[in-house]
Amino acid sequence: MVDTADTSTPANPTSSIAIEEEMKSSYLDYAMSVIVSRALPDVRDGLKPVHRRILYSMHENGYEWNKPYRKSARIVGDVMGKYHPHGDSAIYDALVRMAQDFSMRLPLIDGQGNFGSMDGDPAAAMRYTEARMAKVSTTLLTDIEKDTVNFADNYDGSESEPVVLPARFPNLLVNGAAGIAVGMATNIPPHNLGEVIDATLALIDNPAATNADLQNYVKGPDFPTGGIILGRSGVVSALETGRGSIVIPVAHTL
């Protein structure tokens, strides 16, 4: 006599779900992943994950401002292997931008070689350029070994990385940020470091300070390439509501 398997109950039973609820849940999970893990900076240190991972990896390897330059390809390889497995081009592009004094109000990377130009010329390949941390970057990482911030496992659990950097100055305001996520976006202009620090001290001394009070210290954006802003209404609107537009005149001589 041959035994036969009972086929009345399937090995992998299925269940009915409402497609509307599944789409809501899946979309929200995807949106949060993009917002938190890729597209938007953290207000605490003003960095996106890729920028934070580059700086932490360079700090971990000792590529400080007073040490010799290292090949960009080596830096990118370390970051990709340990913390950011999303392709070398994304990492190198982020490193290049942090080294451009025309892109960052306060460059966080000290680059050596061709890192592009204001005219849109691309940087040289990573095998040719070299980099190390800029001196100001040390203030973003100071005391990170003293349990000042939380750490989390990297993508495969083999390493740990900081959730956020200690950041001794408001990098989000100083260097600004731009990013497009799912359902939201941000475009924060850079501001003057001295003005931001003065406003920070004023807010510490008087936690009840209003936007108008702080605008006595921070007059408006301070772009790395300079410029004159026409009018104040756009600046005031941006500082008070988070939304505003400004007009900067340009001149070109042929």
Query: Annotated active-site positions, please?
Result: 128
Pairing of strands 130-133, 109-112: antiparallel
* Angle at the Cα of 227 from the Cα atoms of 223 and 232, rounded to 5 degrees: 90
Q: Are 101 and 61 in contact, with CB atoms under 8 Å apart?
A: no
Distance in angstroms (rounded) separating the CA atoms of residues 180 and 88: 20
200's tokens: 């920070």
Residue 81 corresponds to which tokens in the numbers above? 């292997």
Return the axis-axis angle of helices 72-82 and 88-99, rounded to nearest 10°.
130
- Based on the number of CB atoms within 10 Å of its own CB, is 171 exposed (0-12), middle (13-18) or buried (19 or more)? buried
Structure tokens at 221: 């954006």
